[in-house]
Chains A and B, each alone.
Chain A
Amino acid sequence: MITIRVLPVLARHVVRTMPWATLIAGCLAGTALLVLLTYVADRDHQVLSPGVVRLGFLPAVAALAFVPRDPLRQLTQAAPAPAWLTSAGQILLAVPVLAVTCWAQLRLVDHTGPQRSALYPLLGQLTGWCALAVAAAACCDRSRYADLGGAVAAPVSLAIIALAWYSPGIDRLLLTPPASAHAETLAWYAIAAAALALGATALRDRWHRYARVLRRS
């Protein structure tokens, strides 16, 4: 059992091992892209749709794939506190950073604030993307690609997002249009829940799945 006394120590460890630079670099890169697109659109008197935020949020999703990683996992597993607490804490710390990024990007694209009917599916979609990135990162961290971590998880997350975006058939459920805003929102939150469940299972897994090493031995 974890006692209250452990929490400050644990929090310090989580904050110190959190890849702040990576996460903030990803968030800033996407926001910088949106600043550029907004500037160009303003010069040409075009109106950017809130959907452009999806593009600007992709670098943040890629950066999030580097977050749930404990470089001292082998050591923390030997400690009395559960090893998954570090990664879970890192993910929790990333949430406000991502939320601020999303808010800033939405304000950039639409100064008056997007309509709720367009906002809910968008937020659902971005939440789903983040959950997919976390799940991919957690699974990669338990695989033989653990050393590369986010370098594998980020492309995997982006590939899944591209699949959902462009696959004929799937887009009927996950993109508005053809899906209705309500259906899209529900679908993405369902995906987010499933991805988080998968990610939690992977984080709690105490064993490394080094398939190639096992075969060689």
Chain B
Amino acid sequence: MNMPAATRTGDVGRPGLTGAAPARPLRTVLSLAGAEAALLLRSMLVLAGLLAGGAVVWRVIWTSEPVWWNAAWQIGYGQVILAASVLAAAQLTASRARRDGMRELYDSFPVSAATRTLAHVAALAGVLPATVLLACASVALTQARGVIGTPSPAVLAAGVMLVLAAGAAGIALGTRFAHPLAGILGGMVLFVLFTQSYRLLAYPALGGLPWLFPWTIPDQLGSLPGPLAGYPPGGAHALELAGVALLAAVAALMVTKGGTRHRMRLAVTAIVAAAVIGVSVAAQLPSIPTAALNRLFSAAANPTAAQHCTTAGQVRYCLYPGFDAVLPAFQAPVSGVLSQLPVRPAPVLTIAQDTSLALDDPPLTHGHTRAQMDRWNAELQVPPPSTATAPAIYVTEGDERAARFALALGTAEWAVNLPAENSPVNPAGACVALDQAREAIAIWLAITATHASLTRGPGIQAVLVHDTQVVVWIYPGEYDNYTSAPGPQTTVAGLLLAKAMASLPEGKVERVLGASWPTWLNWHTTDAQLAAALGIPMPSVPVPASPLPPGTSPPAQAQNPLCT
């Protein structure tokens, strides 16, 4: 059983139960806090939270192309996990005396309950190394990943403040509720506020004010072409969390008995904490300035005007300022596809960075008039001028492997003359290249360019094309919209044939394709003809589980057009 508050009292030179004169409170608090801090830092809960937080940050940062204005908040994901575990550990610490049934024993010591609680609050300094280590390691990891932009110290400090505030809340909880379940439920509440904030934000009274939650990242933050002041307001949020930590510490000390001076001090501190919270909340409420949003939506609506373009080979790459580091990641899959083509298409292909910015984002646009929103919406609806004259693929940053495959597939589909994005052929829904050899060729080009290991995936999903059920293949990242508009809907038949092609020597496939390239690009050329030319059997395609009964006419809206 741990009794540092008792044993350390002896350490500072005073016998515990002999009634010797109490030492100066500050020295006692520091001595106790040192012992409690060491215990807190060595707590299995805190160490496990640190490990889990690190794993979460690694998973979030390592799988995407990081930009600092988003990554600094993503590091907070790990801090939330650490904060939840610190909250539970702090509750265990503060409730130790009552949980072990030793309250009377502790009360018999010269050190008062208020001093012990103050020491518990001060002992939160013990988790500072853990949270700072997590922040620093995450920053190092993000830098190693090749991040764009510069980090915001205020946001990183807010992550540290979140952990301290959760620890103070845990101590406040522990002084009232001795049962360990209270700390665990407290940690869960923090976790729920974090994971369900998007649901809770739907509540009208909370709409547009996500910053008031302990930790929330707006959905579109990672898509912005640059940092946007006040979205989210990092410094004010760090101040809000500091105020919450101070208020929780006061709440913990309120339970302890004390004289009038003690009560007065607590009241004054509580007022200061409330004022800090009020000021920081007020600083987070104002809407983002119209001029800043005008610039943002203008850059999103007409990317080529805001981007820097470089041409390599027959491809023009356009990126927002500061994103030069992304260029090799864009070039690799595109070059990989183009290098395998027997004949390159004549027009220059433009690969442009896209923001996929949407106005349906209350944190971004709250406080602005409906008329202003309509003007921005109209601006975003107009297609960029370049798409009318030259083929272009607009790419959004995201999960690296999936985004690269989506880019490679988009390039390959363009190369084999499958209807490109923004094509008038497909105004309503994605067209399907039903039994067309060029689809399999496009998927094969994407596979060989990205070395992707693909599977058909679970279940069978089918669409209707000319009253024929076609089993479709949802490629990795298809639903994530890495390319700004959906291309043709890929089929399982195309995937299986492409995988069979990928198992053949590359030279053999290239020879067969190069021998009659225009034939393969013709939409009348079938999968069977391609398989025969390659000397491989046609893979068998799974049958949908519930085909339409014979004679049943499918609903008109369920039909997908055929790619021609």
Contact = CB atoms under 8 A, between A and B. Distances in A.
A150 B180 contact: yes
Interface stretch (A37-45, A76-84, A106-114): A37-45
Interface stretch (B106-114, B197-205, B320-328, B533-541): B197-205
B50 to A, nearest CB: 13
Contacts of B188: 29, 58-59, 62
Nearest to A25: B181
B45 interface: yes
B558 interface: no
B48 A159 contact: yes
Contacts of B52: 159, 162
A58 B191 CA distance: 11
A152 B89 CA distance: 10
A50 B81 CA distance: 25
B185 A29 contact: yes
Contact of A22 (B181, B183, B195, B204): B181
A162 B77 CA distance: 14
Interface in A45-92: 46, 55, 58-59, 62-63, 66
A40 B185 contact: no
Given A46-B199, A55-B192, A151 B459 contact: no
A178 interface: yes
Given A41-B202, A151-B180, A177-B458, A62 B185 contact: yes
A155 B1 contact: no
Contacts of A41: 199, 202
Interface string B41-54: 00011001000100
Secondary structure at the B interface, as helix, strand, loop or mixed, is helix
A153 B85 CA distance: 14
Interface residues of B, number: 28
A43 B181 contact: no
Contacts of B202: 40-41, 43-44, 46
B446 interface: no
Nearest to A21: B179
Contact of A154 (B184, B192, B196, B203): B184
Interface in B161-192: 179-181, 183-185, 188, 192
On chain A, which size bracket covers the interface? 20 to 34
Given A55-B196, A159-B48, A26 B459 contact: no
B203 A40 contact: yes
Interface in A113-155: 147-148, 150-152, 154-155
Interface in B28-73: 44-45, 48, 52, 59
- Among A22, A58, A66, A151, chain B packs the most CB atoms within 10 A around the CB of A151
B405 to A, nearest CB: 17
A179 interface: yes
Given A37-B199, A41-B199, A26 B185 contact: yes
A112 to B, nearest CB: 20
B147 interface: no
B48 A148 contact: no
A11 B88 CA distance: 33
B88 A155 contact: yes
A37 B424 CA distance: 42
A198 interface: no
B203 A43 contact: yes
A43 B199 contact: no
B457 A62 contact: no
Given A151-B92, A155-B88, A180-B459, A26 B196 contact: no
Nearest to B92: A151
Given A62-B184, A148-B180, A155-B48, A43 B458 contact: no
Interface string A143-175: 000011011101100110010001000000000
Nearest to B45: A155
5 contacts: A25-B181, A43-B204, A55-B192, A151-B92, A166-B59
Leading 9 A-B pairs by shortest Cβ distance = A151-B180, A44-B202, A40-B203, A62-B184, A154-B184, A178-B458, A29-B185, A22-B181, A180-B458
